[in-house]
Amino acid sequence: MSGRAQLMWDEAVTGYDFGPDHPMDPVRLALTRKLVAAFGLDREMEVVAAKPAGESTLRLVHREDYIDAVKAASADPARALGAYGLGTVDDPAFAGMHEVSALIAGQSVGAAEAVWRGDAEHAVNFAGGLHHAMPGGASGFCIYNDAALAIARLLELGAERVAYVDVDVHHGDGVQAAFWEDPRVLTISLHEHPRTLFPQTGWPQETGADCAEGSAVNVGLPAGTGDAGWVRAFHAVVPELLAEFRPQVLVSQHGADTHFEDPLAHLAVSLDAQRAVQVACHELAHEYAGGKWIALGGGGYAVVDVVPRSWTHLVGIAAGRPVAPEAVIPEPWRQEVFARTRQLGPQRMTDGRWPVNWASWESGYDPADRLDQAVRATRQAVFPLRGLLP
Ligand SMILES: [Zn+2]
């Protein structure tokens, strides 16, 4: 089912480091890369280090004054005092911040170019998915919005319809903002409800500007949503929209912070459900986007137990060599984990919840259920705008 796949990786992306007290510890990227290698997945695909995104590429999404501010903060971190969101608790400035952020963006842009031109059918950049960065400011641990830049590059190359599906626990607000007025880009975000989580946007009523009505889709899930509800919500919203929109490329963001162990949010999703949704995205890319699939990482702050396993599954699925949930994790990787973190790494590629059970929208509908109320709010807000029954 899968053709050639590319893994976008440059060791230097691990320099995206906000410091020892910040939850986005780059060890999560290093450990993911090593777990991918431990399963031999990097021998099944081409590993490509794309060049950093240049000024003209960054300007496809970001304002020039913001790029200048990032460069200044990068050169002299002590002088970033909060303007443009730089030098804040969430986005502390650090030396080399511009360069490494542009490098991560370059991997997503390179993925977009490879997939669009047919050099690869699928491409994965698990260091990417920095979906909160705004055209004119840093936000939520994100400096440059590599997801939006990849999409903007696809449009520049001639794409007329690009679908973006974001299953990070947080709303994909920066990507939505970048294409709010652009009917060529359908953004779909499933996330914990804005009432209980940063960035407090992503309400079902956010459906796009007047000139692009129905091009933004938001599902705000109740805190505590588990596997069955999360997968049910995905299938109740995403496939029908993709079938109607007929994207030429699917870009998906796989933040692993929906997990029950994640310290920054309140969903209760397992690794096994994350894997099930990754498989679904892969299948949807083949069904509705001619197989053109760009898969990105995102949030995820259980940096030892969850992130490496989740994104290794993602890489395996893209490579056409999915790792079985029951697979035992190679011991040398666990030794590496202990050496680096003094934590004991997980032993298997499952949380023991496989296979994931869920009910289809039609068969399981319960109007008194809060998950179903959330899904229904989304369908009612946006499905008619796309000519679909709510
Ligand atoms: Zn997140």
Distance from Cα 296 to the centre of ligand 1, integer Å: 12
The average pLDDT across 71-82 equals: 97
Pairwise CA distance, residues 61 & 175, whole Å? 9
- In angstroms, the Cα distances linking 106 to 169, 281, 282, 299, 371 are 24, 23, 23, 18, 37
For residue 224, report the distance from its CA to the centre of ligand 1, in Å. 15
Separation of CA 387 and ligand 1 centre (Å): 31
Q: Give residue 3's pLDDT band: very low, low, confident or very high (50, 70, 90).
A: low
What are 212's two structure tokens? Answer: 């692009």
Whether the full predicted model's pTM is greater than 0.75, yes or no, is: yes
- Catalytic residue check, 132: yes
Rounded Cα distance, 326 and 353, in Å: 10
pLDDT tens-digit readout, 97-127: 999 999 999 999 999 999 999 999 999 999 9
Q: Please report the pLDDT score of residue 225 as a whole number.
A: 98
Out of 132, 171, 193, 313, which one is annotated catalytic?
A: 132
Rounded distance between C-alpha atoms, residue 369 and residue 236, angstroms = 14
Q: pLDDT at position 1, please?
A: 39
**Is the link from the previous residue into 239 a cis peptide, with omega within 30 of 0?**
no
d(CA 50, CA 170): 27
Mean pLDDT, residues 126-152 taken together: 98
Residue indicated by tokens 């999360």: 230
Give the mean model confidence (pLDDT) for residues 314-339.
98
Distance between CA 346 and CA 360 in Å, rounded? 32
Q: What does the domain layout of the chain look like in residue ranges?
A: 5-386
- How many angstroms does the Cα of residue 270 sit away from the middle of ligand 1? 15
Hey, what CATH class is 5-386 in? Answer: alpha beta
Distance 4 CA to ligand 1 centre (A): 29
